Amino acid sequence: MKLQESGENYLETILMLHNKTGFVRSIDIANAMGFSKPSVSHAVGLLKKAEYIVVDSKTNQITLTDEGKKIAEGIYERHCILTAFFKSIGVSEEVALADACKIEHDISQETFEKIKEHINKK
């Protein structure tokens, strides 16, 4: 199943929340993303059905599957590298973060790799 940008954003948010707190629930995602609980519940259901996440029935804790984690880590890497690149050319942090969020889903792998090489040379 090909994920849309919104699905990638959910997976990235789950990864970031897990790295920060070690525990992720739907309410945590809703708070982090500024979405309603019903919207998050719907998205979580789709991600679960596609086997990108697992939801513990007792604790409601959300965990990324191996495939979900792979996708989330790739998006997060793009986010970090693009943000660093934009900041390195003088873009303010706020704008760099916002632009990285927009571009991380659409940039070609070739262009991303070249930006990554450029940033890693510094």
Q: Which fold has domain 76-121?
A: Diphtheria Toxin Repressor; domain 2 (1.10.60)
Which residue is associated with the tokens 């929340």?
A: 17
Mean pLDDT on 74-98 = 95
Domain ranges within the chain, ordered by starting residue: 5-70, 76-121
User: What is the rounded distance in angstroms from the CA atom of residue 77 to the CA atom of residue 88?
Assistant: 16
Return phi, psi of residue 54, to 5°: -125, 140
The confidence score (pLDDT) of residue 51 equals 96
Q: 39-85: per-residue pLDDT in tens?
A: 999 999 999 999 999 999 999 999 999 999 999 999 999 999 999 99
- Residue 68: C-alpha distances to residues 53, 73, 81, 86, 111 (Å): 6, 9, 20, 27, 23
Q: How many CA atoms lie within 13 A of 89 on its CB side?
A: 10
Class of domain 5-70: mainly alpha
